[in-house]
Structure formats: structure tokens, C-alpha cells
Amino acid sequence: MKLTRIIILCTAIAVLLAVLLTIGGCKKKPAIERAPIKVGAILAVSGGASFLGAPEAKTLEMIAEEINAEGGINGHKIELIIKDSQGSSEKAISFAKQLIEEEGVLAIIGPSTSGESMSIKNICEDAKTILLSCAAAETIVNPVAKYVFKTPQKDSYAVISIFKTMKKLGISTIGVVVGNTGFGKGGKDQLEKYAPEYGIDIVISEVYDRAATDLTGVLTKIKAKDVQALVNWSIVPAQSIVAKNMKQIGMDIPLFQSHGFGNIKYVEAAGKAAEGIIFPCGRLLVADVLPDGHPQKAVLSKYKNDYETKYNEDASTFGGHAYDAFMILVEAVKKAGIEKENVRDAIENMSGFVGTGGIFNFSPGDHNGLDLDSFEILTVKEGKFVLY
């Protein structure tokens, strides 16, 4: 009995030491021809935000492999270090410090969520390390920090493009339903903020639980208000339920959704009811049906095909954000070499860069670089996403 305990204790210690030593030992790699470029990434590969982080991590690995297979950038191989933050900001902070101080990375890609990005914004700014965030919140680039950039489109652009479409359709009174998540709350704020500017009246606005399985109660309330259109803002399966329930209670007004609807699974779940849903989205989902002359067509098709052949799963716009971040960095290194300051300047002055999210035009005052045109209004036709 005593002996077993001691054996367990010793094995545990031995295993721990072995792990520590191997990990410690791995770090000292012999230098190859030209110094490799170290790129760090902090992504929520697992945990609640893994629907963002997992495709982002896969995308980065794919590109790094591809670039290294071609001999690197100007002879510099890329050394990609991906850290899984699981969406928690204290880990993101610890990893950001590791990447900056120990690895001396040229740039950090990520984090996937806005909260994490905000928590390491100042750390990167302090340490003068380039941060290319894959999160949506506008506060990441407003106020502008010298070393902090982001690739996803701003939420407000999604709202504005919805309102513009409504104006075209002559809609002036709407109902709003949102899920009780951070995303839903953010959408509601933006909708309320921009509605007066476009002469749109939000007659009724309701919040539902993210796990709701039936929304007829909420929808009946809205039906009674006799609005001209309904906007739903969420990233949960309730997006399909709203569409289904509307048909069931005989609401035949147009349904607008957020860019969170950009996943064909939601269309499949809603079946026939999804027909005619209108939503803004990046062009990745409609890469196949874009006209041949479209500037983004080549980039989108290549990314989509590469990703889908390699991983055998549908490409998502989230992976696209990481793709853009990485390619912007690669482009800047090609132009300016591997000196951190020069790379930063190259990113800030980059214009006309074609990515999956849109065409990036950075400037000292705009570290997002995308404009309203980065969103396309899509609709569902015969179970597929098409341009509206």
C-alpha cells in the first residue's frame, strides 16, 4: 500500500519533469538559412468561442504550410506559434506576454473574441508588437492604437447595409428580435443607433433566450404591431426557429437576419421557411456565384477551395478573417522586410489589398481598412445563398 503510493508519486513527478524537459528542449531549434519569421496567434481553438477560433487556427496552419512549401517569404520561413486561449482573457494576457517577450514574435494574429482583444490591446501597444485582431468590436481600433489592427468588418456596417436595403424596399416600420448574447445585444444597440438616420422606426424590440426552442409567443406580439419587416440578430440556432415560427403563424413580412446567418446549416434547419431571408455578409459564402470580373473572386475561390479540400468542411467567414490577417502581414513583409517598425508602416499604408472580407485600405486614422462595400446583401433561394 505504502509502496504503491510512493510509486504513484514518483511516476507523477517523473512524467511532469519529462513533459517540462521536452517542451523546454523543443524551443532551442538550430537556425536555418535565413532567420525564420515568428508569427504568434492567440485563438479560441476550444471552448465556447471555438466556432471562431477553430477555423481560424486551421486557416493559419494551412497558409503557413503553403508559404513554407514555396520557400517562405523572401527566403524567410514562417514559424507559426498558435496558442489556445479558450476564449479567456487571462490566458490571452499570459500568452501575449509569452509571445512578445520569449518568442519575440513579429506580430500576433487574433484573439478571436473582442474581450480578449481589448485585454491585450494595451500590452501590444506598450511592447510595440503588431496585433492583427480577428474580433469584431469597434473599440479595438477606436481609439486607434499605433500597433493594433483588425480584419473583420464593423458591426455597424452590417446594420447600415440592412437599413439601406430596407429603404430601397420602402420599409419604414420594423420589429427587432435579438438573442440574449453579447452579439445580440451589440446588434440591438447598433440598430437603435442608426435607425433614425435612415428614417426607420423600430416599433417593437424583444429579447429572447439563446436556448429558446419556440418563439411563437414573441412573434405573435410582433405580428400584432403590424410592422413591415422583422430583424433578427443572433448567432444561435434560434435564427432558423424564427423563420419557421413566422411561417407557422402566418407572418409573411420580409425577415432580415444578421451576418451571423452566414452558415448553410441554419438554412438547412429552417428548410422551406428560409427562402427569401435577407442578410448582409462577406462575399465568401457566394464566391461561386460572384461575377467573374469581381476583384475578390479569385482570392475567395482559392481560399474556399483550399480550405475545403484540405479540411473537408465548409469554409466560414471567421476563418476568412484570419486569412486576411495573415495575408496582410505576409504582404507587408514582402514589401518592407522583417523589421517590425517597417512592417507596421507598410500595413498602415497598405491600400487596395484584396482579402476575403473586402478590399482593405488602411490609413493612420483607420486600422480596419474596410468600408461599407465589404458587405454584400444575400438571400436564400432554393436552399442556397445567392446575391440579393
Partner 1 sequence: MNKKIYIPVIALVLLVIVIQLIIHASDAAYYLTQLTMSAYYVLVVIGLCLLMGYAGQISLGQAGFFAIGGYISAVLTTYNLLPYSDSGIIKFFSKLRMVIERQDLYGNRLLSFSPWVGFFAAVAITVIIALLIGIPVLKLKGHYLAMATLGFGLIIYRIVLGTAIFGEADGVSDVPGFVLIPACALEVNGSISLRIQNYYIAWFIVILGMIISVNLIHSRVGRALRSIHGSEDAANAMGVNISKYKLYTFILSAVLAAIGGVFLTHYNGSIGPSEATSMKSIRYVAIVAVGGMANIWGTLIMGVLLNFLSLRGYFGTYDDAVFGAIFIIIMLFAPQGLLKISQLQKICTYFKSRNKGHERASP
Q: Which residues bind partner 1 (CB under 8 A)?
A: 5-6, 8-9, 12, 16, 19-20, 23, 45-47, 83-84, 86-91, 93-95, 97-98, 101-102, 113-116, 118-119, 121-123, 125-127, 137, 143-145, 180-182, 185
The distance of closest approach from Cβ of residue 320 to partner 1 in the complex, given in angstroms and rounded to an integer, is 22
Q: Which residues, in sequence order, are CB contacts of 151 under 8 Å at separation 6+?
A: 132, 133, 134, 321, 322, 324, 325, 328, 355, 357, 360, 368, 370
Residues 222, 226, 228, 234, Cα dihedral to 10°: 0
Extended strands (E) in 209-338: 229-233, 255-257, 278-281
The distance of closest approach from Cβ of residue 25 to partner 1 in the complex, given in angstroms and rounded to an integer, is 13
Nearer to partner 1 (CB atom), residue 234 or residue 296: 234
DSSP state letters, 91-154: HHHHHHHIIIIII--SEEE--SSHHHHHHHHHHHHHHT-EEEE----GGGTSSPPTTEEE-SPP
Residue among 188, 176, 163, 279 at smallest CA distance from 222: 176
Residue among 117, 128, 125 at smallest CA distance from 152: 117
Q: How far apart are CA 58 and CA 53, in angstroms?
A: 9
> Which residue is associated with the grid cell 476550444?
46
The distance of closest approach from Cβ of residue 5 to partner 1 in the complex, given in angstroms and rounded to an integer, is 7
Nearer to partner 1 (CB atom), residue 127 or residue 204: 127
Nearer to partner 1 (CB atom), residue 89 or residue 379: 89
DSSP tag of 291: -
The distance of closest approach from Cβ of residue 54 to partner 1 in the complex, given in angstroms and rounded to an integer, is 10
Residue among 271, 264, 245 at smallest CA distance from 177: 245
Nearer to partner 1 (CB atom), residue 94 or residue 361: 94
Give the H or E element holding residue 283: none
> Which residue is associated with the grid cell 482559392?
302
Q: How far apart are CA 325 and CA 288, in angstroms?
A: 23
Q: Which residues, in sequence order, are CB contacts of 216 under 8 Å at separation 6+?
A: 245, 248, 249
Q: How far apart are CA 69 and CA 383, in angstroms?
A: 38
DSSP tag of 368: S
The distance of closest approach from Cβ of residue 249 to partner 1 in the complex, given in angstroms and rounded to an integer, is 29
Nearer to partner 1 (CB atom), residue 26 or residue 69: 26
Asked whether 357 and 374 are in contact (CB, 8 A), the reply is yes
The distance of closest approach from Cβ of residue 9 to partner 1 in the complex, given in angstroms and rounded to an integer, is 6
The distance of closest approach from Cβ of residue 23 to partner 1 in the complex, given in angstroms and rounded to an integer, is 6
For helices 182-194 and 155-169, angle between their N-to-C axes, nearest 10 degrees: 50
The distance of closest approach from Cβ of residue 164 to partner 1 in the complex, given in angstroms and rounded to an integer, is 28
Nearer to partner 1 (CB atom), residue 57 or residue 106: 57
The distance of closest approach from Cβ of residue 383 to partner 1 in the complex, given in angstroms and rounded to an integer, is 32
Nearer to partner 1 (CB atom), residue 206 or residue 275: 206
Q: How far apart are CA 299 and CA 287, in angstroms?
A: 9
The distance of closest approach from Cβ of residue 6 to partner 1 in the complex, given in angstroms and rounded to an integer, is 8
Nearer to partner 1 (CB atom), residue 299 or residue 322: 322
Nearer to partner 1 (CB atom), residue 183 or residue 360: 183
Nearer to partner 1 (CB atom), residue 22 or residue 309: 22
